[in-house]
């Protein structure tokens, strides 16, 4: 399996394989329809145990000095994966005692890579994707993930993708933005904005099923070293998800 994956890496074959299967989907009339939903999720990798000097050198794109005389150690160190902090807002239950215990926001450190995907709203199939280090900004990948092949113009994404640059990109491409709006700083969220975001969430939640399927059923975890191998692993997981999704779609439409 390792040798097979290495051959895929050297041939840079994953994009061609993904495009071939996407063409097969179109041949079976599973066109990209209904608009597209964009999101990203961290794919964990084994944590690195490096000194502060080694971390500083890696961030600068250099090989730490004490690794240069230890090629075996250098080969076992992933210099492309990164740390990031995932923030989770505390949810206050409706009707809770205002004087009682208040839940706290969570900040969860995570190490690894990030999977960026775009699915079509009609079928829930992954149509576009990319991979990066975990600390990459989600919004910077919007222009890479938005596809002109979708028959509808709607684009759904969370607040990480809302920026003047992205809104201008969507408007120029004649896309309809359904990106969540951000809460005004130090002000309560306007009721109309909260209701609009809630409607968007109903549609956007479909992309979470993709990540849940990959992480829980597939057990997606990056045990390889380097972004090139990680990209193959994430791309193959996306292909496998589409295989499973196609089988489910065909069974659903089959006559009883």
pLDDT, tens digit, 9 for 90 and up, residues 64-119: 988 988 888 888 899 999 999 887 776 666 666 666 666 667 888 999 999 999 99
pLDDT confidence of 253, banded at 50, 70, 90?
confident
31 and 68 in a common domain: no
Claim to verify: residue 70 and residue 126 sit in the same structural domain:
no
Same domain, 64 and 116: no
The CATH number assigned to the domain holding 195 equals 3.30.420.10
Q: Do 69 and 132 have their domain in common?
A: no
Question: Does 28 lie in the same domain as 69?
Answer: no
Residue-averaged pLDDT of the chain: 91
To the nearest whole percent, how much of the chain has pLDDT over 70?
94
Based on the fold, state whether residues 71 and 176 are members of the same structural domain.
no
Mean pLDDT of 164-179: 97
Range of the domain at 63: 50-76
Q: Give the chain as a 3 state SS string.
A: CHHHHHHHHHHCCHHHHHHHHHHHHHHCCCCCCCCEEEEEEEEECCCCCCCHHHHHHHHCCCCCHHHCCCHHHHHCCCCCCEEEEEEECCCCCCCCCCCCCCCCCEEEEEEEEEEEEEEECCCCCEEEEEEEECCCCHHHHHHHHCCCCCCCCEEEECHHHCCHHHHHHHHHCCCEEEECCCCCCCCCCCHHHHHHHHHHHHHHCHHHHHHHHHHHHCCCCCCCCCHHHHHHHHHHHHHHHHHHHHHHHHHHHCCC
Average pLDDT over every residue of 215-244: 95
Quick one: 218 and 156 in the same domain? yes
Based on the domain organization, do 68 and 152 belong to the same domain? no
Q: How many structural domains compose the chain?
A: 2
- Confidence tier at 168 by pLDDT (50, 70, 90): very high
pLDDT at 206: 96
pLDDT of the residue at 35 = 97
**256 pLDDT tier (thresholds 50, 70, 90):** low
Q: Are residues 59 and 13 in the same domain?
A: no
- Could you give phi then psi for residue 234, rounded to 5 degrees? -70, -40
The predicted pLDDT at position 20 comes to 96
Same domain, 174 and 68: no
């Amino acid at each position: 399996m390792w040798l097979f994956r290495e051959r895929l890496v050297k041939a840079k074959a994953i994009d061609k394989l993904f495009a071939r299967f996407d063409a097969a989907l179109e041949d079976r009339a599973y066109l990209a329809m209904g608009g597209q939903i964009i999101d990203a999720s961290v794919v964990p990798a084994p944590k690195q145990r490096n000194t502060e000097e080694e971390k500083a050198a890696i961030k600068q794109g250099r090989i730490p000095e004490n690794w240069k005389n230890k090629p075996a150690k250098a080969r076992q160190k992933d210099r492309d994966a990164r740390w990031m902090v995932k923030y989770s807002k505390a949810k206050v239950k409706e009707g809770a005692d205002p004087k009682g215990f208040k839940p706290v926001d969570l900040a969860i450190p995570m190490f690894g890579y990030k999977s960026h995907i775009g699915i079509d709203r009609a079928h829930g199939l992954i149509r576009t994707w990319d991979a990066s280090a975990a600390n990459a900004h989600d919004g910077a990948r919007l222009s890479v993930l938005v596809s002109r092949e979708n028959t509808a113009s709607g684009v759904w994404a969370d607040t990480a993708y809302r920026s003047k640059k992205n809104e201008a990109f969507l408007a120029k491409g004649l896309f309809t933005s359904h990106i969540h709006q951000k809460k005004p700083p130090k002000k309560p969220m306007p009721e109309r904005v909260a209701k609009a975001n809630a409607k968007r969430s109903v549609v956007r939640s479909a992309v979470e099923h993709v990540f849940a399927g990959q992480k829980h059923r597939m057990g997606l975890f990056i045990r390889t070293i380097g972004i090139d191998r990680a990209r193959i692993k994430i791309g193959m997981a996306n292909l496998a998800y589409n295989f499973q999704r196609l089988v489910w779609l065909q069974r659903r439409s089959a006559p009883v």
